[in-house]
Structure 1
């Protein structure tokens, strides 16, 4: 038997997520393997805002929190997964897992990392990177000279959207919640940056792009979205990626309904889940790896050392504690 540490849901989230919502327990994992089975030990874990919403439908009290991890095979009776192999798997907030059925346990394909850090398979080369790549390029369809707005721009997805937009020859306007993050965005090449907590949003959007925006990649939602749509150009394209400003709300906000702006400006507004492009992820991973090596994409990780810090890292997502991707490493 192998002892696995597991973070379980202590109680259903009620309003703002708290570290006290979770329990750390131990489970025994059998190391008695049958043909085709193998045992993994996690090296890196991810926390992402979607876990706040996914939990509502999929996780009950005392169950393991969901999420991806990068893990190493430590025992194996599977010729395709020898000891030492690295896997990306949706095993959740746990240290050790016995893999019996790869499809049912959602063992995914690892990208070609070569000399890149393994943790990037959970960030720039993983789900957030593919969210930025496909969610922006496929839905916003940027053209050289377009003006692009990205909110939550210092987060795991937003900073990559802005950098991809620069690669495509766009003017990029980004916002973040503190001055250090704004400074980093300027270092990444964003043309205009502002701290949304210290400005009148509508005035800041107008100042940054007096003629309006061709593309808007939305990570925040609610009032920000309603305000930004007023500054879109005719036939603008809007990619709805996240609504993090509302994930902790007990009731949906009652704000200004933006449908007249959508109608009058004839906007294309589309929400998405990145899983729709999963069969094409290798395409996005290849481009991202090339851009990283060419220096066109820069990445930053906020790393929490130690599995015991997973709830702290998760809560930090909603407090703006992370710059770039939040990663927990063993």
Structure 2
């Protein structure tokens, strides 16, 4: 079977209460920088110029064209074109945001373990659902496309986290492989922009992705946004951001909520990419017999359109953190049809830490 990239899932209704950040904020904590292992590019257009490109017609075209899978590497061995960061490189930061006075309707209490939800459901409307949004961009050939993304704690309070294949083709094409002219809409629901939109200024992805398309360890990226003329930074407007926990050799998390805007799904015909959806469950090691493959796996039916949506855990009271990103699924090598509801994330270890450290420097 071949692994195909795609966009996946959202935040679980029963754990929405768990995923509400507190009023406190904290600076990111990181060890090492990893600048030699991350590629970056600054958009050549200004905020105003990027906005002018995104006409209603181009947005509609992008909605019909979710990010496609990158070509798989012929084997799991990284090529000599890129190097891995030190294995002890790690990064962590708590969530930041608002204090919800009451949990949303249907949320689980501390005494009730959240249910497993492998069949995606629509995220109930609530203030915290705006931590995830739709990400529009142009492919290198100029075709409008889209993924999902999430607000992430950062020193600039203006950064989103997404999949590597949502920012670069991952084919070793260098500057020619970057997506461009990003437009991020937090909390989009049925085409709405409840808080407005933000344009992308800088994007960062592991060299192991941009050069080698390494889906095992490197299908992740960060985008630092331009501040909004009226609303300021993303956190100023959204009021919430996921924290993160990027560390090596950990695959089992419970419970995990994953979020996104899928247009397709496993044995689903009702997904349209316009609604924010979620799944929830426990992650496992995607390849327990291979010590060099620490991808994480979750049962979730979301497909293309939800790429770049977060895998989030509750690290502590009111402290949801990103530990993975919707990346790919199993498909038949001949028919290219999906064969299970398994949803995979690259390991978020040293490569993810290197990326967020670079974004925190902008």
TM-score interval w.r.t. the shorter chain?
under 0.3
Larger radius of gyration: 1
Structure having the higher helix fraction is 1
**Higher RCO (C-alpha 8 Å, min separation 6):** 2
TM-score (norm 1): 0.25
